Amino acid sequence: MKMRIKNLYRQQFVCLLTFLTLFVSSLSAQQKLNLAECRTLALKHNREVKIAQNQIVAAEHIKKSALTHYLPKISFGAAWLHTNKALQPLENNLFLPIVPFNAIDITTGKLNPEAFNDLQTAMNALVMNPQTGAPMVDANGNPIFKNYAMLPADKLVFDHKNSYLGRFAITQPIFTGFKITESNKIATRAHKIAQENELLTKAEIVAKTDEAFWRVVSLQEKLKLANAYESLLDRLVRDLENMFAEGVITRNDLLKAQVKRNEAKLKTLQAENGCALSRMALAQIIGVNECNMEIESENLQEAPETMPISLENEISSDKRAEIAMLKDKVAIMDSKRNIERSKFMPNIVLTGGYGWVNPNLYSGLKSEFGGDWSVGVAVSIPIFTWGERRHNLQTATLKRENAELQLDEAREMIDLQIRQNRYRYREVLKKVEMTKLSKEQAQENMRMANEHLVEGKSRLSELLEAQLQWEIASSEHIDALVEMKTTLLELDKSTGEIYNYLY
């Protein structure tokens, strides 16, 4: 009887080994994706990466736009004005005195009042008082001339109700207090920030992809373990049913094994569902159909023989994209502070152009277009603004100081994060070693419980407990191996080594 039971358990282990071999062979025959391929697909199809790339293109256009501020601006403007009434500059008729020629200074073309000191000139041009012989004056004290020319008010009427204006203008900044230079520096830094943001986004996508990949690998390994454990119990139940039919064991022993088998089936179902959901999550990240995807599990190995670079080498936090972005932010705050300081300086602009007007102001207000060119220099000097510029400069200075403080704090936090992840990785390596030893001990314990049951030295419950402990120890070892991978990922992410995965 003992030999029969022993042969039954030997057949059970042979079936278990055959099942695992066939399962692995069926997976290798399918199309599979490894970790590097998943990363490539995720970076290619992820929407966040495309958004970051579009931001780089937008920053390039802003940078080119800032460069155009050094160049002259050419513009054209036009206007049309319709008036309801005619223009009549004079309210009443205007009388203009007739001055003799010798009363005009030929050098200046202006009236020479001293010419009227000549009696003959005064008598010819002015009205003389016959009693006094002096020139007569009006109520305002102005001399009265003998002859006047009348300018009728109703004749000086501009009946052009439609007016047109057009002008080409060129504006070239000469000095703006270095506003243009600082604006170009800001645009250049913003472009660098967009590039660093793309790098950071890709790193986040790679980290998310790796986490999803190792989650799938973990659940696939646990599914294989669950299937193996269920197969082990199926074989045990079948053997116990035969033995119960022959009266070798009690029904209670058979029921114990059947309960354990049902628990194993539930674990298998849970593992299948978890595996399916994790595959769907990974498929969504990398942008492929979950039905056509199979994940390789060969990378789930024991602890590495050589330590990774992130663990051993002294790495500066400046390798992180976040630090580069904060440095550029500090530089932008510097430029903004300089722009506020430039508001205390004058602005000098060179202007020029050519304009047309209708009615023609250059030819007697004829109903035609007349034009002329012009050139000039405009200077704007701010003098007093009630302290607005000073307050804005102080605000910009404080913002620059805050950006510097954020940079220092980020460096300290990253250094702390690197140390924490290094400690965690060393702990996980020790955990992998311990769970491996526990798995080997559980496997040996299961073998010994099997032999003792065959020899009649132990009960069936001890074998069932040994099998359960083997399943638990194997599952914990899988968890430790996956945790080793994900912890190394966090370490590479904190040190910036993850950027090497992007190329």
51-78 pLDDT per residue, tens: 999 999 999 999 999 999 999 999 999 9
> How many whole angstroms separate alpha carbon 479 and alpha carbon 221?
10
Q: Which CATH class is domain 33-71+177-305+312-346+381-502?
A: mainly alpha
Q: Is 97 left (phi over 0), alpha (psi -120 to 50) or beta?
A: beta
Structure tokens that stand for 440 in this block: 């080997």
Burial class (CB in 10 A: 0-12, 13-18, 19+), 108: exposed
Q: Note the pLDDT of residue 304.
A: 67
Q: Are 257 and 233 in contact (CB under 8 A)?
A: yes
189-244 pLDDT per residue, tens: 999 999 999 999 999 999 999 999 999 988 888 888 888 888 877 777 777 777 77
List, for the chain, all residue ranges whose pLDDT scores fall below the cut of 50: 1-9, 11-30
Closest CA to 143 of 135, 151, 133: 135
DSSP H helices, 89-178, are 119-125
**Which residues is 283 bridged to in the sheet?**
none
Structure tokens that stand for 74 in this block: 């050419």
Give a three-class secondary structure readout of 252-273.
Answer: HHHHHHHHHHHHHHHHHHHHHH
> How many whole angstroms separate alpha carbon 280 and alpha carbon 285?
9
Q: Is 229 left (phi over 0), alpha (psi -120 to 50) or beta?
A: alpha
Burial 284-297 (b: 16+ CB within 10 A, else e): ebbebeeeebebbb
Quick one: CA dihedral 254, 257, 261, 263, positive or negative?
positive
Q: Note the pLDDT of residue 295.
A: 81
Q: Note the pLDDT of residue 133.
A: 74
Q: In terms of residues, how long is the chain?
A: 503
Q: Are 367 and 358 in contact (CB under 8 A)?
A: yes
Report the amino acid identity of residue 141.
Answer: G
CB atoms within 10 A of CB 40: 15
Burial 65-98 (b: 16+ CB within 10 A, else e): ebeeeeeeeeeeeeeeeeeeeeeeeeeeeeeeee
Determine phi and psi for 76, rounding to 5 degrees: -130, 135
257: Cα within 13 Å, side-chain hemisphere: 21
DSSP assignment, residue 126?
A: B
Q: What is each CA distance from 315 to 199, 326, 420, 484, in whole angstroms?
A: 18, 18, 14, 21
Q: Which helix (H) or strand (E) holds 111?
A: none
Q: Note the pLDDT of residue 29.
A: 41
> How many whole angstroms separate alpha carbon 200 and alpha carbon 223?
34
DSSP string, 385-420: -TTHHHHHHHHHHHHHHHHHHHHHHHHHHHHHHHHH
DSSP assignment, residue 117?
A: G
Q: Note the pLDDT of residue 130.
A: 79
Burial class (CB in 10 A: 0-12, 13-18, 19+), 303: middle
Q: Are 150 and 293 in contact (CB under 8 A)?
A: no
Q: How many Å is the Cα radius of gyration of the chain?
A: 48
Q: What is each CA distance from 479 to 310, 424, 483, 486, in whole angstroms?
A: 22, 15, 6, 10
> How many whole angstroms separate alpha carbon 491 and alpha carbon 417?
8
Planar angle of CA 86, 91, 97, nearest 5 degrees:
125
Specify the residue for token string 């460069």: 67
Give a three-class secondary structure readout of 272-336.
Answer: HHHHHHHHHHHHHHHCCCHHHCCECCCCCCCCCCCCCHHHHCCCCHHHCHHHHHHHHHHHHHHHH
Q: Note the pLDDT of residue 68.
A: 94
Helix 321-342 and helix 179-245, axial crossing angle in degrees, nearest 10: 160
Within its chain, how far is the Cα of 407 from the centroid? 18
> How many whole angstroms separate alpha carbon 299 and alpha carbon 310?
19
> How many whole angstroms separate alpha carbon 352 and alpha carbon 376?
6
What SS3 class is residue 155? coil
- Would you list the domain boundaries of the chain? 33-71+177-305+312-346+381-502, 94-157
Q: Note the pLDDT of residue 255.
A: 80
> How many whole angstroms separate alpha carbon 2 and alpha carbon 453?
9
Q: Note the pLDDT of residue 298.
A: 61
